[in-house]
Amino acid sequence: MRGSTPGLEGLRLVCAGFYGAAASGQPPFGVVRWGLPPQRGVARPSPAGTLVRMSEPEDAFDYVVVGAGTAGCVLAARLSEDRHVRVALIEAGPMDWHPFIHIPATVGAAISLRSINWRFMTVPQEHLAGRAIPIPRGHVVGGSGSINGMVYFRGHPTDFDDWAAAGNPGWSYREVLPYFLRSENNDAYPDSPYHGQGGPMNVTFIKRPNPMTPAFLEAMQALGYPRTSDFNGPTTEGYGPRQGTILKGRRVSTATAYLKPARDRDNLSILTNTRATEIILENHRAAGVAVVDSAGKRSLSVRKEVVLAGGAILSPHLLMLSGIGDQAQLYAAGIKLRHHLPGVGANYHDHLAVGVLMEMSNSESYGLSWRAAPRNLLNVFQYALFRTGPLSSNVFEATGFIRTLPELSRPDVQIVFQAARRNPHPFPFPLGHGYAISIVGLNPSSRGSVRLAGADPLAAPLVDPKLFSHPDDVATLLRGFRIGRRVAHSPAFARYRATEVGPGQTVQDDAAIIEYIRKAASTVHHPCGSCRIGNDEGAVVDENLRVRGIEGLRVADASVFPRVVGGNTNAAVVMIAEKASDLIRGIAPPRPLDLPRAQTA
């Protein structure tokens, strides 16, 4: 991981990133390359199994954490606080050295790097015009948190109350709130009881948003929506500027915030470019993990617990490869059954979104053009010297969580403003100018699955979210789209003289809009639910995140969500990992926090 050296070092990073690395996919500055570009839909081991630290010769650990993503970095850092235990953190991808990861505005370019993105695809989606939808997932230390949009939002408080009400004690909002606060260092609300101070993850507002952002706020106000000053405070509903996990102009991931300060501990071994291929079971107890790296296959033995943190696609995948899953499916894939657990891989779901896309000749938005070239050049220097300016923005500067029907009890769509023209392949900013209003359906009812494609542990699983299979999801996005379009065409934006290019003004009636949504919608990268918490037959883990029927094995990542939260998912995954570390170490939970909440209905 690179440090936060300002000045010329910063300029070097930015220039190398802009002019070299993204185009070629090669690392700049002759840095050793640690990962093969994964082929579309095929997961391969990286060539150099890099044992960053291994203080004892034998491969025996108290805890093995599989996956150094958002959850895994938290778990490894928290578990290794106890110097009497040895912890191994296994990550299939490389370290998070690439500069595009760390510069907030180059997030689009980071996603396009083949070496750090698994680049999964769904199977063709029947209800989305037969399209296969891309599913970017981080293949790098920091996981998806190293390539995500850095937006900070916890979810609606009632989301967690619903988790608890479904039979999961310990997961209500008042019980999980202390874990959100423990992870947080919010520089905007120093005295608010709704926010944490001194935690690892810095949360901040974009200091100087794009000049178009006030137009969005004005448009939302003109349409009569309430303004909120804090999406994670008493009033989740409304519109306003939004916060991100950024510190001094650089991305904050759990790799930078949790793992980096812990990585020199003698009792923590971080194995990059190393793929876990099986959990070794002895009499229904996790006894080790089989891994493959450039040196070949070997196994790590485990004295206490294996903790899966491979994310919503690869955690259920590894369980199934290890013989834990639905009997019939394992049999069909040629895997020997070790423990019948039918819920593994089921209940997979994600947020679906569609955009109203606007183009304009005015160059005030973020973007590359001849007119904006002098300003962009200055921005590069400003970032290199001071780590400020547009390059320190994640582009997602303002949003609205709203109800499309007054009778709903919580927001059902998020209206996301982006002061940039949407291009399929941003490099590293979009080409040309414009803005987009994305509408995200927050509470989807469609459910799909992750299944084995076969017995090869390196073959990508079959991911079928069955997007839009539930009619409610179609109706919600249709209502949301109509609102988003009114925002995009609000008089507040009139001076930009923008033209709607997606879908275009000829698309007006319900049928035509639904057809556009089916052809254009994509997910917003919040897959979850495939190893859900619960106490019923379909549940995979219990409320303490223990895999049902197997000892010494837990799952702690986005796959355990019983139901997706009504917003962005990273903060909730950090919360889950914080809570998991207490559960594993036998530390009593913090006292629940009862704070007033505004009524929305």
> Which residues would be at the binding site for ligand FAD (CB under 6 A)?
66-72, 90-93, 111, 136-139, 143-145, 147-151, 275-276, 309-311, 314, 318, 525-526, 557-558, 568-571, 573
Give the other-Cβ count within 10 Å of 584's Cβ. 21
5: burial class by Cβ within 10 Å (0-12, 13-18, 19+)? exposed
Of the pair 384, 577, the CB lying nearest ligand FAD is at 577
Of the pair 141, 219, the CB lying nearest ligand FAD is at 141
Distance CA 53, CA 66 (A): 16
In angstroms, give the least distance from the CB of 567 to ligand FAD. 8
In angstroms, give the least distance from the CB of 335 to ligand FAD. 15
Of the pair 125, 569, the CB lying nearest ligand FAD is at 569
The residue length of the chain stands at 601
Q: What is the distance, to the nearest Å, from the Cα of residue 180 to the centroid of all Cα atoms in its chain?
A: 16
In angstroms, give the least distance from the CB of 149 to ligand FAD. 3
- In this structure, what token pair is assigned to residue 412? 């059902």
- Pick from 319, 286, 321, 322: nearest CA to 530: 319
Query: Which residues are within 8 A (CB) of 272 and not within 5 positions of it... i.e. 6 or more apart?
Result: 34, 46, 49, 50, 52, 68, 91, 93, 94, 95, 141
29: burial class by Cβ within 10 Å (0-12, 13-18, 19+)? exposed
Of the pair 503, 562, the CB lying nearest ligand FAD is at 562
- In this structure, what token pair is assigned to residue 428? 């590293």
In angstroms, give the least distance from the CB of 500 to ligand FAD. 25
Distance CA 565, CA 560 (A): 12
Of the pair 136, 249, the CB lying nearest ligand FAD is at 136
In angstroms, give the least distance from the CB of 382 to ligand FAD. 24
- On whether the CB atoms of residues 383 and 14 are closer than 8 A, the answer is yes
Query: Which residues are within 8 A (CB) of 524 and not within 5 positions of it... i.e. 6 or more apart?
Result: 350, 351, 352, 353, 438, 440
In angstroms, give the least distance from the CB of 566 to ligand FAD. 12
Of the pair 513, 580, the CB lying nearest ligand FAD is at 580
- Pick from 364, 375, 507: nearest CA to 434: 364
In angstroms, give the least distance from the CB of 601 to ligand FAD. 25
Of the pair 256, 376, the CB lying nearest ligand FAD is at 256
Element (H, E) at 272: strand 268-272
Distance CA 124, CA 134 (A): 10
Of the pair 350, 464, the CB lying nearest ligand FAD is at 350
Radius of gyration for the chain, computed over Cα atoms and rounded to the nearest angstrom: 23
503 cis-preceded (ω within 30 degrees of 0): yes
Distance CA 358, CA 356 (A): 7
- In this structure, what token pair is assigned to residue 548? 């049902």
- In this structure, what token pair is assigned to residue 424? 């399929």
- In this structure, what token pair is assigned to residue 525? 């990268």
Query: Hey, CA dihedral for 319, 324, 325, 327, is it positive or negative?
Result: positive
Query: Which residues are within 8 A (CB) of 158 and not within 5 positions of it... i.e. 6 or more apart?
Result: 173, 409, 410
Residues serving a catalytic function are 526
* Look-up of token digits 């009619």: 471
Of the pair 278, 359, the CB lying nearest ligand FAD is at 278
Distance CA 485, CA 516 (A): 13
Distance CA 149, CA 206 (A): 13
In angstroms, give the least distance from the CB of 99 to ligand FAD. 17
In angstroms, give the least distance from the CB of 399 to ligand FAD. 11
In angstroms, give the least distance from the CB of 358 to ligand FAD. 21
In angstroms, give the least distance from the CB of 179 to ligand FAD. 15
Residue nearest to ligand FAD (CB): 69
Give the other-Cβ count within 10 Å of 301's Cβ. 13
Amino acid at 484: G
- Pick from 190, 557, 582: nearest CA to 591: 582
Distance CA 267, CA 506 (A): 63
- In this structure, what token pair is assigned to residue 509? 């009636």
Of the pair 150, 215, the CB lying nearest ligand FAD is at 150
- On whether the CB atoms of residues 54 and 269 are closer than 8 A, the answer is yes
Of the pair 60, 458, the CB lying nearest ligand FAD is at 458
